Structure 1
Amino acid sequence: MPNSLTKLLASNKKRPERVPQSKIVAKDGGDTEIYIYDAIVADEDTAYWWGGVSAEALVPEIRAIKGGTIRLRINSPGGDVFAAQAICQAIRDTGAKVVAHIDGYAASAATVIATAADEVEISDGGFFMIHNAWTWTMGNASDLTATATLLSKVDASLASQYAKKSGMSVDAVKAAMDAETWYTADEAVAAGLVDRIATGAKVEASWDLSAYAKAPKPAPTNQIDPVATDEHRARQQQRIATMARLQVS
């Protein structure tokens, strides 16, 4: 059975309106826009095979920004939490004022990046999702126990970050993560995870979120499944299985 992270990346690899990788756009007046309109991955090798915003490529670009205001535009189904944390730290280290704009979905690791902002706003119709970390691994009982311990530590770290942003207790955040909670724009503001709802047109984000148990259902579509054959799916699964590193989302 494919790992949920693998499924998330594969099911969105050829989404037609997907913005390749990410974009950093410098504007007059010292403003910089960073677009994270993709899944979040650790390195360029993963991005080549699966698509995604690569922290390996993006972090050096962010670190070149010095001061001003960063407008962090997010429409992402999530991905690798360690990559997201690296992006967070790079954003903090710029010394800029950071305003996150959730233009569609901020799910999973994408919400971690939003916590690096001084202010967070969400479009009407957007979603903010938090859940417990996922991973894939193999080995003996000791290996699996060690992995479970790591996941528990990751969950505790995430809960602390969300609690600091929202003002919720860590226990309340952990309960929401256990439940895979999808906050609407209004609910995210009420929970304190987001500061305000953006003015403007309502958005309809279109990520394939079938990897998640409780994702909102997408509008009907006539798109052909980009992973159309069992053979193609098997090749992709074999590729990611050969990557000798632990990946957590």
Structure 2
Amino acid sequence: MKLSAEQAAFAKRLGHRFADPGLLQRALTHASMSTPTRPDNQRLEFLGDRVLGLVMAEALLAADPEATEGQLAPRFNALVRKETCAEVAGQLRLGEVLRLGRSEMMSGGRRKQALLGDAMEAVIAAVYLDAGFEAARGVILAAWGDRVSTVEEDARDPKTSLQEWAQAQGQKPPSYDEVARSGPDHAPVFTIEVRLESGETGRAEAPSKRRAEQAAAQALLKRVQGV
């Protein structure tokens, strides 16, 4: 089994030469494109998630030998969450080589965060099965770049921080409302407004409600703290 020119270019960007090209092709195959003789990437995704978790846990321990479990957990979650996997997939232009069924392709599957994140985990598993843990570790650390060293800021959950600030001021937890939704069904944009009991508000938009809520909370937190 031979990689296409596009797949070979992706493998080069990834930094791994596959002894078994079929592993990469399977990692790039979405369920919408699978057949009895062409399995999808869901089992690889399951494995890749665990490989990624172990690599990131080790990297965090090495980066900060004095950190407590309570400090490490949010950093870990920030590094392995689906949004981060999708960001890395975007940097590698993984969407260009995803194997999708017609309906998924027509609905913008190559840009969907969930599909990209899942496929990135599957690719990690493909490297692991092809060449072992050390090879997978090298690919992951190279692809994630400086995220391990800068994760402390990303690990700070703005919604939690805003709620803690409000409670410290004797206020009720902030409320979040979806005030607008635009864009096509396959690529929606959500506008979220967060409001404190004292009346201050913050607003932000993002491709998912979760990200819009986080961004709105961050904006409001900066405003009330005078940052």
TM-score category, normalised to shorter length: under 0.3
TM-score normalised according to structure 1 size: 0.21
Going by fraction, where is helix more abundant, 1 or 2?
Answer: 2
Structure number, greater radius of gyration: 2
